[in-house]
Amino acid sequence: MSQDFAAYRQQLLDQARYSIDYGLEHGEPPTVEPEDFPQTLREQGACFVTLTLNGELRGCIGMLEAVRPLIVDVTENAFAAAFQDPRFRPVNRSEAGLLHLHISILHPAQAMTFQDRQDLLNQLRPGVDGLILADNHHRATFLPSVWESLPKPEDFLRHLLTKAGLSADHWSKALRAWRYTTESIE
């Protein structure tokens, strides 16, 4: 996916907002007919939709792999971020209009090869890379935007390991990592 989504910024944000408003009214996401949207938005794409309220995280849900049209992914993930993120209670009507929406469109992840923890840390590009870590049944990701609150690679890695349910100092030969970049839409 090498598209530039800037031309579709407002349309994607409007669709995400519509999905939340529809969810408040109907308790489910709206049905999306991809053919009603431009070709670029009908192509398979993966995104995360992040909701903030007064600068605080209010929900974040997404997909790491492109398995459905991007416009469907945005619609479903906006609904899920508002109503199904297990870390938060569902968004209510009084909050909905105050939410700030951020869409991160993911570019395909690239497997990383590294010899040890320091080698992995040296390869990370702060502010650029999103990172997926997996070790057996443990798996987690941080979007590139997380670098804003965790700017040091060691802190970024430690928190991501913890998010995956591992110790912050965990290391094993089974640990795998993939990096990806995103296009941000706000």
Q: Where are the domains of the chain?
A: 6-106, 110-185
- Read off the pLDDT band of 7 (50, 70, 90): confident
Q: Where is pLDDT greater, at 165 or 4?
A: 165
Element (H, E) at 13: helix 9-26
The CATH fold assigned to 110-185 is Dna Ligase; domain 1 (3.30.1490)
pTM of the model: 0.89
Structural contact between residues 105 and 185, judged by C-beta atoms closer than 8 angstroms: yes
Residue 2 has pLDDT above 80, yes or no: no
Q: Where is pLDDT greater, at 7 or 48?
A: 48
- Read off the pLDDT band of 5 (50, 70, 90): confident
Query: Lowest-confidence range among 5-9, 24-28, 55-59, 107-111?
Result: 5-9
Mean of all residue pLDDT scores within the chain: 95
Of the candidate CATH numbers 3.30.700.20, 3.40.50.10860, 3.40.50.170, 3.30.450.20, the domain formed by 6-106 belongs to 3.30.700.20
Residue 88 has pLDDT above 50, yes or no: yes
Return the number of other C-beta atoms located less than 10 Å from residue 109's C-beta: 19
- Read off the pLDDT band of 159 (50, 70, 90): very high
CA R_g for the chain: 17
Q: What is the pLDDT of residue 1?
A: 40
Residue 118, C-beta contacts closer than 8 angstroms, at least 6 positions apart: none
